[in-house]
Structures are given as C-alpha cells and as structure tokens.
Amino acid sequence: MARSPASWKGDIGWHARALCVGEDPELFFPLAETAAGTAPARAVCRRCPVLLDCRDWAVRHGETDGVWGATTASQRRALRRAVLDR
Ligand code: SF4
C-alpha cells in the first residue's frame, strides 16, 4: 500500500506541516512518472510550506519512489548525482 510522503514516521520535524497530510497517498505514487501523472501531486507540493525540507530529505535519503518536494524519482536521481559528483 502506498504511503503519502507525510505518512512517513521518521525523525523529520517538518512532517507536521506537510500539506499532503490527508491527501490520497495514491496521488503521490502514480503508476506512471509522466508530467501528467505527477502533476496533481506536484501541484500540492508547490503550495506546501515544507517543500524544500521534504525535497532535501528525499534526495539525501535516496527515496526512489513517488513525488517528494515536487520532484519525481528521476529528478531526484539527477539531483543526487549532481550533488555527489561535486
Ligand atoms: S512537499 Fe509535497 S510531498 Fe513533501 S511534504 Fe509537502 S506536500 Fe508532502
């Protein structure tokens, strides 16, 4: 069963302010990682007050599935490569 990013119960203080709390988790784990498939989740993320914390966490922890911080998994892989290649 898919979890929304906000349902993650780790040591992340920003979780309490996540805008995806209460959203359908399936929204954040679309079957296809296309622009259209991820657009609804990214629209929520763009209004979220913890977008940068969420994105940073997902990149640093190598989160491989779903939309986190308005990014897709492939976008996060590219960000991670850019950071690690410095
Ligand atoms: S940026 Fe998106 S995925 Fe991250 S906490 Fe906010 S709404 Fe949830």
- Residue 63 is assigned to a structural domain of this protein: yes
Domain assignment present for residue 21? The answer is no
Q: Is the CB of 27 under 6 A from ligand 1?
A: no
What tokens were used for 10? 């780790």
To the question of whether residue 32 is assigned a binding role by annotation, the answer is: no
Give the mean model confidence (pLDDT) for residues 53-70.
94
Residue 14 lies in a domain: no
In a domain, 26, yes or no: no
Q: Which of 1, 17, 18, 22 is nearest to 68 (CA)?
A: 18
Tokens representing residue 47 in the block:
């209004």
Its sign, for the CA torsion 6, 52, 84, 10, is negative
85 — pLDDT class (breaks 50, 70, 90): confident
Best mutation site among 68, 71, 75, 76 for ligand 1 pocket (most ligand atoms within 8 Å of CB): 68
- pLDDT digit string, tens, across residues 7-28: 555 556 888 999 999 999 999 9
Given this model, what pLDDT does residue 23 score? Answer: 94
CA distance 37 to 16: 26
**pLDDT reading at 71 higher than 70:** yes
Tell me if 58 CB under 6 Å of ligand 1.
Answer: no
Q: How many domains is the chain built from? A: 1
C-alpha 27/C-alpha 17 separation (Å) is: 18
Write down the pLDDT at residue 83.
83
User: Does a structural domain hold residue 44?
Assistant: yes
What proportion of the chain, given as a percentage, has pLDDT over 70? 86
Domain, as residue range, for 64:
33-86
Q: Which atom of ligand 1 is nearest to the CA of 15?
A: 5
